Amino acid sequence: MSKRMFGTLLLVVLLVVTASLAGCGKGSSDKKVIRIGEVTRSLFYAPQYVAIEKGFFEEEGLKIEVSTTPGGDKTMTALLSGVIDVALVGSETSIYVYQQGADDPIINFAQLTQTDGTFLVAREKVDQFDWNSLKGKTFLGQRKGGMPQMAGEFALKKHGIDPHADMELIQNVDFANIAPAFSSGTGDYVQLFEPTASIFEKEGRGHVVASFGTESGHLPYTVFMTKKSFMDKNEKSVQAFTNAIHKAQLWVADNDAKTIADVVLPYFKNVDPDILTSSIDRYKGQGSFATDPIVDESEWNNLLDVITSAGELKERTEHDVLVNTIFAQKAITQVKK
């Protein structure tokens, strides 16, 4: 190789190295990658998509990778095995893991939704809904032990209905197949999230008659959680993550459903924009989106009551065992409108 060629090659190498080093400064390569596993893709999680699309995570020095892991069991398995860093799932999953004797407990640190996100959808349209109309009917419910099913049963019992004695309760259908099963003729009533509930209404396949979110009260329904070991090693990143979520919560609270729908549209490309707007408006109207990331003790105790009522709790796991509110409290003081 000639000196001239060697000099040219050396110059190219130096340029590449210089560019790489420059990229480590203000470029995206210096951002901490956080892998989120969401239990499902839902408008119920609109603030998460807002945090991504509005650049709130980037402002906090984070790069977010989101994957959908259908079902709480799959999401928790992904978290425990290190496939994801943070799980967006119901708080009950952290309790189940803890009560199985986990050495590295799952800690809830930032709440996203504070009510159940499902709606009671009837096959036939009714002018005036009465909860007693469910008696003797077939109810296509959610997975046994999952938060939607437990909140649903809690609401039914509140209205004097024993879900296991007063109706035919179906719980053996996978989460992803519940809507198709109802659409194909299974059940008189079904429990659905948005936007599926609104889509069914528009297409005449069902009619929303009640909200389980309104009926079951405030709960740490969907929460960002991580392994205690990850939290201990990545405190700055967890704080940055919580700050970004709170920025999104404030933004969602300050904007109307149409504006929010426009931002989250990339995550729901196959859904009619009008359906997106009406679904978000429905969630905003019943206060489903948490306005701050704190998992407070009263909500946690309501969660324990719901799980106990469903017969899924071995013993009460107190708030301070699996909840860390430090990051959420700091986010409230650090993030300003």
pLDDT above 70 for 205: yes
Closest CA to 306 of 89, 92, 39, 45: 92
Could you read off the pLDDT of 296-311 as tens digits, one per residue?
A: 999 999 999 999 999 9
Is omega for the bond preceding 266 within 30 degrees of 0, making it cis? no
pLDDT above 60 for 337: yes
* For residues 188-197, average pLDDT: 94
More confident residue, 135 or 176: 135
pLDDT of residue 175: 81
pLDDT of residue 113: 97
pLDDT of residue 322: 98
* Whole-structure pTM value: 0.86
* For residues 6-17, average pLDDT: 34
- Angstrom distance (rounded) from CA 96 to CA 177: 24
pLDDT above 50 for 295: yes
pLDDT of residue 29: 58
* For residues 247-260, average pLDDT: 98
Q: Which CATH superfamily is domain 118-216 in?
A: Periplasmic binding protein-like II (3.40.190.10)
pLDDT exceeding 90 applies to what percent of the chain? 78
- Angstrom distance (rounded) from CA 10 to CA 272: 55
Could you read off the pLDDT of 110-157 as tens digits, one per residue?
A: 999 999 999 999 999 988 999 999 999 999 988 888 888 899 999 999
pLDDT of residue 9: 33
Q: What stretch(es) of the chain map to CATH 3.40.190.10?
A: 30-115+219-334, 118-216
* For residues 185-212, average pLDDT: 94
Q: How would CATH label the architecture of 30-115+219-334? A: 3-Layer(aba) Sandwich (3.40)
pLDDT of residue 106: 98
What SS3 class is residue 332?
Answer: helix
DSSP 173: S
Q: With residue 259 as reference, give the H or E element that holds it.
A: helix 257-264
DSSP 216: H
**CB count, 10 Å around CB of 49?**
22
* For residues 245-267, average pLDDT: 97
pLDDT above 80 for 2: no
Could you read off the pLDDT of 16-56 as tens digits, one per residue?
A: 333 333 333 334 458 999 999 999 899 999 999 999 999 99
* For residues 254-279, average pLDDT: 96
Output the six-digit token pair for 202: 């528009």
pLDDT of residue 336: 79
